[in-house]
């Protein structure tokens, strides 16, 4: 399972941003939650910060997290969901 996670992670990092966005949108759709609420939760809690395999390089982990942050922001703005509280 660990090797599969590492392989999928490496493949996902190689995708272009639009393909990553499509993949993330498909993932969100499969969760069966209201998208605005889901996006708001992800903006606030950033659960994806723990999704990278533990053995990946720090640069790959940072790229993964920044790609996801960008994608979530794109989706958030498109939905008109409020962003994080600037006072936090």
pLDDT in tens, the chain (88 residues): 989 999 999 999 999 999 999 999 999 999 999 999 999 999 999 999 999 999 999 999 999 999 999 999 999 999 987 776 655 5
Give residue 88's pLDDT.
52
Distance, CA of 21 to CA of 68 (rounded, Å): 8
pLDDT at 3: 92
Closest by CA to 74, choosing from 29, 39, 28, is: 39
pTM of the model: 0.86
pLDDT of residue 82: 74
List of E strands, 16-75 = none
Question: HSE (CB half, 13 Å, CA atoms) of 63?
Answer: 16
| DSSP H/E element including 8 | helix 2-14
Quote the radius of gyration of the chain (alpha carbons, Å): 13
Q: How many residues does the chain have?
A: 88
Query: What local confidence, expressed as pLDDT, does residue 85 receive?
Result: 62
């Amino acid at each position: 399972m660990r090797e599969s996670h590492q392989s999928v992670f490496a493949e996902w990092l190689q995708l272009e941003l639009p393909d990553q966005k499509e993949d993330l949108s498909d993932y969100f759709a499969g969760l069966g939650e209201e998208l605005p609420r889901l996006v708001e939760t992800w903006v606030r809690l950033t659960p994806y910060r723990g999704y990278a395999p533990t053995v990946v390089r720090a640069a790959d982990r940072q790229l993964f997290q920044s790609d996801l942050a960008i994608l979530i922001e794109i989706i958030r703005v498109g939905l008109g969901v409020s962003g994080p509280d600037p006072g936090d």
